Homo-oligomer: A and B are copies of this chain.
Amino acid sequence: MAGNALPANGNGSALTQAARTAISDKAMVDAAIDLILERGTDGTTLQAIGEKAGYSRGLATYRFGSKAGLFDAVCKSISRRWLSYLNSGVGNQVGIDAMCVALDAFFQFISDFPRDARVLQILYCGAASPQSEYRQTSINIHQRQRDDVAKWVRAGIREGSIRGDANPDSVAAQYIAYISGMTYLWLINPESIDFRKANEDMKLHIRRSLQK
């Protein structure tokens, strides 16, 4: 569909090898996102991904090595988008402000790209299984986000906006756990979660428990 399996037809305008790879890569990641949303990770086959992307049944395996390798790539692709989205929202803010803006950015991301958000959460869940070949990716992403939050808290304490007895690492774990857990609850039962309201309440709670 998206990719052209035979780019050099009659004329001399050929694609670069790197371009060919980039095109087929993106086509397969996109196909994977569609299929995961439709059928879940178990129901998604490498054959279906390759063919939906406009290639052969074998390309996905060839390119990504394994099903887990492909999921890892999808995971990284989406989380890259999310992190840049987040960074552009938070900017240089720190402390409680940063935490609140990040919550808003998260809600915005879920509203703007619900498909990406859903697939990312599905893949994070897949990383929970022992022997998961992309668990490390999930660990790294979550750890990085926790580190960012802990930094915001530390800076907030320094500038005096956050009470000095707050434990940055503990607050960060709690904050990331909230986001992760809320997203899970939303994923399995979207109607049961009013994300906007939950986030407004969460901001209030953050202020109450951290403000000096």
Instruction: Please list the residues of chain A having a beta carbon within 8 angstroms of any beta carbon in chain B.
Output: 36-43, 121-122, 124-132, 135, 138-139, 142-143, 146, 167, 170-171, 173-174, 176-182, 184-185, 187-189, 192-194, 197-198, 201-202, 204-205, 208-209
Select one of B37, B128, B146 contacting A184, CB under 8 A. Answer: B128
Q: How far is the CB of A51 from chain B (nearest CB, A)?
A: 19
Contact B42 A201 (CB under 8 A): no
User: Taking A39-B130, A130-B39, A174-B202 as contacts, is the C-beta distance between A189 and B125 under 8 angstroms?
Assistant: no
User: DSSP majority for the A interface?
Assistant: helix
Question: This chain: how many copies in the complex?
Answer: 2
User: What are the 8 A-B residue pairs with the smallest beta carbon separation, nearest first?
Assistant: A181-B181, A177-B181, A40-B129, A125-B125, A180-B181, A125-B128, A177-B182, A205-B209
User: Taking A179-B181, A181-B179, A201-B171 as contacts, is the C-beta distance between A128 and B132 under 8 angstroms?
Assistant: no
Residue in B closest to A67 when the chains form the complex, CB atoms: B42
